[in-house]
């Protein structure tokens, strides 16, 4: 915190005010611009569309003709989604599975790989590159690559194991098949972030821990891991965001139907392309936004708590 | 979203396997390119002649992009031939097939080209009713164009809004060599079909290849079963939203389908139609109900392929109806050069235009009966005969009903049925509930 004069804790408002008064007009203009321009962008690019989506979600419109063509139907879209739209509940469930899986699978695995690779083993660079490689591929491409493994009749897995599993088609296994493909990419991503974090940990901390007779495991869990708290927050946020916006992979596989329903894919099915159910799709998008908001709220709470400390 | 539709027929087989994913990757870029492209054209070409002057440049929106193979070449050649003949400049706007289709609503309300490629039937009618495409009834009658095509080009107000270019039928394909080897004969009714499938199973052949990973191919099976069991008229009014989806008639279609599933390839939901075609090519499956574009996935078998129309299931209804989607052209209302566009449409419907398009490439089956057929393959000649003999022609489920209904309701529902064929009541009830909500 700036305010060097603050001996005790002054109320935040007065500190800000006194600082403001001291700023010369030119700096003030700069500050105002620096606040106003991003605010404008956020309002125009985030809030206005979000609010418009909310408004649209109470109407039925196929996008043809002017806005006066919208029929306002109240909460019917929401009622339909919850009551008669079969893909909705599976989609919610799949998004949550996605979230849990990303945490328990690739995130922990990525962390483990990072710890191992951080020990400067022989060929470490090679492994690092190999694990990171999938991250540079778009998820659409990942879906296609895995199709070569998963295809029921011509895929590698069934050929090698002489099995007949319909990896992408059987609605009880395809979600897991897709999750493995996601994990393939996500692990490398998390690994790299942790690797960077581990490199940033002051080596004197480890030495001190070693001096105190801590075992390697203790050093990691009691010393290194807590120090990496900012990295953990970043990874947490990335995982949550990745699983809420999960879309590309299932879209490539089968456009988010038959066991691969995700909210994002349902929004696209209804809005993108010829279907043009703008009201219905917007209602789905609003639901997605509400779910995201819950996670964002939790995140912000943690961050603010941190700052107050 | 019903994009990867039969229009795939026009994509070279070599690209097909990768098409889905590559297209998705490219889509964004292509779309941007297309939009930018068309607006620059607008600024640059100065063809905004306000509709009165037919000699100004005509903008031509194509649902094929350069590199899409014969499908692109044929459209490009037709456009060139018209430019040459009339002396009018034709500005081509080349867009990837699926991108074009997915963005059609925005396209038609933005700065559409004057003449653009589109489909006959319900999907044309929707645009006609919403005032997005122009009445072109003065282009009709077109010499050489049969009445069935005129009907397909007519909207609910009795006027024509469409000029047909080509078509292709959906039928049951098989390999002649396989049928000869085992002494199979194409069936003409249900009993014969069942005998044949039993024989095939005895020979260790899965009777029907089947795939529905993309969601649309199984619509063809629903269409043909409904047309055979309940008749063409019921099918069309069901598509138009005038019948109940949880009616006894529709349930019977699903029940018949469920009873036929054991003679279909298992696990269709993870298989693409190209893979299903390959299993027929390998002799693992005996038959495949698909559009003629099946050839694109197995080009080496073209000379060995033959087909029959799906046999009758009810003798009082017969086997006189089939799916044969018609592709062609419309004139957009927002197009700047209405007169010039109409002139071009008039040309595009002629046999001369069809011949120009078919010159030097794999031909399409021209809608115009005066077009030269000498370049046709045996399959195409037979297709033309079969469609010519059909009493009723449907356009395919996702072209005969509302796009939103087909995409967001029918695709998931049919997939659910294929996943668990026992819950027909649940599936039909769910379709009906959603139908009531969509068809207001």
Segments making up each domain of chain A, as ranges: 88-276
Fold of B170-323+402-438: D-Maltodextrin-Binding Protein; domain 2 (3.40.190)
By C-alpha distance, the chain A residue nearest B432 is A84
**What is the CATH number assigned to the segment(s) A88-276?**
1.10.3720.10
In the predicted model, what is the mean pLDDT of residues B405-428?
93
Residues of B in contact with A164 (CB under 8 A): 267
By C-alpha distance, the chain A residue nearest B22 is A141
Under a CB-based contact definition with an 8 Å cutoff, are residues B171 and B307 in contact? yes
Distance between CA atoms of residues B431 and B397, nearest Å: 14
**pLDDT band at residue B357 under the 50/70/90 scheme:** confident
Mean pLDDT of chain B: 84
Distance from A270 to chain B by nearest Cα, in Å?
Answer: 7
User: Do the chains contact at B105 and A87, CB–CB below 8 Å?
Assistant: no
CATH 3.40.190.10 in chain B, residues? 6-167+327-379, 170-323+402-438
DSSP codes joined into one string, B50-98: TTT-TTS-EEEEESS-TTSTHHHHHHHHHHHHHHHHH---EEEEE--HH
B178 to each of A24, B170, B288, B305, B307, how far by Cα in Å? 90, 20, 13, 10, 13
B207 three-state secondary structure:
strand
Q: Does CATH number 3.90.228.20 belong to domain B6-167+327-379?
A: no
In the predicted model, what is the mean pLDDT of residues A60-65?
79
Nearest CB among B3, B105, B267 relative to A169 is that of B267
Suggest the residue from A59, A75, A82, A86 to mutate for an interface test with chain B (most B CBs closer than 10 A).
A86
B284 three-state secondary structure:
coil
pLDDT in tens, B369-395: 888 888 888 888 999 889 888 888 899
B47 three-state secondary structure:
coil
Distance between CA atoms of residues B31 and B79, nearest Å: 22
Distance of CA A223 to the CA centre of its chain: 27
Residues of A in contact with B132 (CB under 8 A): 64
Question: What pLDDT is stored for residue A93 in this prediction?
Answer: 93
Q: Which residue has the higher pLDDT, A150 or A3?
A: A150
Phi, psi of B350 (to 5 degrees): -80, 165
pLDDT in tens, B40-62: 333 333 333 344 455 688 999 99
| Lowest-pLDDT range of A18-22, A155-159, B140-144 | A18-22
Nearest CB among B104, B271, B437 relative to A80 is that of B437
In the predicted model, what is the mean pLDDT of residues A101-113?
91
In the predicted model, what is the mean pLDDT of residues A297-302?
83
Question: What pLDDT is stored for residue A220 in this prediction?
Answer: 85
Q: What percent of chain B has pLDDT over 70?
A: 88
Q: Count residue pairs from A and B with Cβ separation < 8 A.
A: 132
User: Do the chains contact at A277 and B1, CB–CB below 8 Å?
Assistant: no
Res. B13: pLDDT tops 60: no
Helical (H) or strand (E) element with A156:
helix A156-161
Distance between CA atoms of residues B432 and B68, nearest Å: 39
Q: Which two tokens stand for residue A7?
A: 């001996």
Res. A292: pLDDT tops 90: no
Nearest CB among B20, B22, B434 relative to A85 is that of B434
Res. A9: pLDDT tops 60: no
User: Do the chains contact at A171 and B20, CB–CB below 8 Å?
Assistant: no
Contacts of A108 by beta carbon, 8 Å cutoff, 6+ apart: none
| Lowest-pLDDT range of A160-164, B28-32, B419-423 | B28-32
Q: Which residue has the higher pLDDT, A201 or B209?
A: B209
Residues of A in contact with B269 (CB under 8 A): 166, 168-171, 254, 258
């Amino acid at each position: 915190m700036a305010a060097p004069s603050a001996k005790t804790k002054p109320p935040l408002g007065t500190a800000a005010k006194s600082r403001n008064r001291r700023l010369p007009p030119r700096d003030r203009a700069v500050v105002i611009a620096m606040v106003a321009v991003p605010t404008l962008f956020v309002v125009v690019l985030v809030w206005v569309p979000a609010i418009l989506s909310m408004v649209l979600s109470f109407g039925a419109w196929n996008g043809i003709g002017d806005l006066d063509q919208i029929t306002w139907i109240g909460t019917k879209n929401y009622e339909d989604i919850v009551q008669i739209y079969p893909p909705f509940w599976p989609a919610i469930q799949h998004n949550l599975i996605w979230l849990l899986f990303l945490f328990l699978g690739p995130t922990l695995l990525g962390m483990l790989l990072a710890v191992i690779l951080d020990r400067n083993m022989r060929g470490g660079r090679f492994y690092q590159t190999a694990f990171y490689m999938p991250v540079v591929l778009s998820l659409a491409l990942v879906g296609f690559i895995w199709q070569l493994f998963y295809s029921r009749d011509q895929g590698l897995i069934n050929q090698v194991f002489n099995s007949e599993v319909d990896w992408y088609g059987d609605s009880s296994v395809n979600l897991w098949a897709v999750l493995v493909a996601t994990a393939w990419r996500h692990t490398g991503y998390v690994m790299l972030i942790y690797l960077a974090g581990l490199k940033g940990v002051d080596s004197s901390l480890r030495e001190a821990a070693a001096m105190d007779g801590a075992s390697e495991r203790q050093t990691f869990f009691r010393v290194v891991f807590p120090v990496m708290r900012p990295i953990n927050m970043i990874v947490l946020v990335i995982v949550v965001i990745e699983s809420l916006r999960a879309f590309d992979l299932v879209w490539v596989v089968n456009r988010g139907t038959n066991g691969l329903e995700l909210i994002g894919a349902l929004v696209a099915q209804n809005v993108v392309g010829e279907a043009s159910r703008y009201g219905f799709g917007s209602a789905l998008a609003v639901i997605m936004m509400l779910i995201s908001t819950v996670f964002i709220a939790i995140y912000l709470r943690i961050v603010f708590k941190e700052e107050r400390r | 979203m019903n994009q990867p539709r039969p229009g795939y027929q026009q994509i070279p087989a070599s690209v097909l396997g990768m098409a889905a994913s590559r297209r998705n990757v490219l889509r964004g870029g292509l779309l941007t390119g297309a939009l930018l492209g068309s607006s620059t054209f607008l600024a640059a070409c100065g063809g905004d002649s306000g509709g009165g002057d037919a000699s100004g440049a005509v903008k031509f929106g194509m649902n094929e992009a350069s590199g899409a193979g014969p499908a692109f070449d044929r459209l490009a050649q037709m456009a060139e031939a018209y430019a040459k003949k009339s002396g009018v400049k034709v500005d081509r706007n080349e867009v990837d097939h699926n991108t074009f289709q997915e963005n059609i609503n925005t396209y038609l309300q933005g700065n559409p080209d004057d003449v653009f490629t589109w489909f006959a039937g319900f999907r044309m009618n929707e645009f006609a009713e919403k005032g997005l495409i122009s009445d072109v009834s003065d282009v009709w009658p077109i010499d050489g164009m049969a009445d069935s095509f005129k009907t397909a080009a007519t909207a609910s107000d009795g006027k024509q809004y469409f000029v047909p270019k080509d078509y292709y039928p959906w039928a049951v394909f098989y390999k002649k060599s396989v049928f000869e080897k085992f002494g199979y004969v194409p069936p003409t009714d249900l009993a014969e079909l069942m005998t044949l499938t039993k024989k095939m199973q005895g020979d260790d052949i899965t009777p029907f290849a089947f795939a529905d990973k993309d969601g649309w191919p199984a619509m063809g099976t629903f269409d043909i079963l409904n047309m055979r069991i309940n008749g063409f008229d019921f099918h069309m009014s069901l598509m138009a939203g005038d019948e109940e989806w949880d009616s006894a008639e529709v349930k019977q279609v699903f029940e018949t389908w469920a009873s036929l599933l054991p003679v279909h390839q298992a696990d269709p939901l993870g298989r693409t139609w190209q893979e299903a075609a390959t299993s027929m090519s390998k002799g693992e499956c005996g038959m495949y109900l698909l559009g003629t574009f099946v050839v694109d996935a197995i080009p080496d078998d073209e000379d060995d392929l033959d087909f029959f129309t799906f046999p009758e299931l009810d003798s009082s209804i017969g086997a006189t109806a089939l799916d044969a989607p018609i592709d062609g052209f419309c004139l957009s209302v927002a197009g700047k050069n209405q007169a010039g566009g109409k002139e071009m449409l008039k040309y595009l419907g002629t046999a001369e235009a069809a011949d120009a398009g078919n010159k030097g490439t794999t031909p399409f089956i021209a809608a115009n009966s005066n077009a030269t057929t000498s370049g046709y393959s045996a399959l195409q000649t037979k297709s033309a005969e079969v469609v010519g003999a059909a009493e009723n022609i449907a356009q395919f489920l996702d072209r005969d009903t509302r796009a939103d209904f087909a995409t967001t309701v029918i695709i998931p529902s049919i997939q659910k049925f294929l996943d668990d064929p026992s819950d027909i009541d649940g599936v039909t009830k769910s379709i009906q509930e959603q139908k009531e909500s969509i068809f207001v």
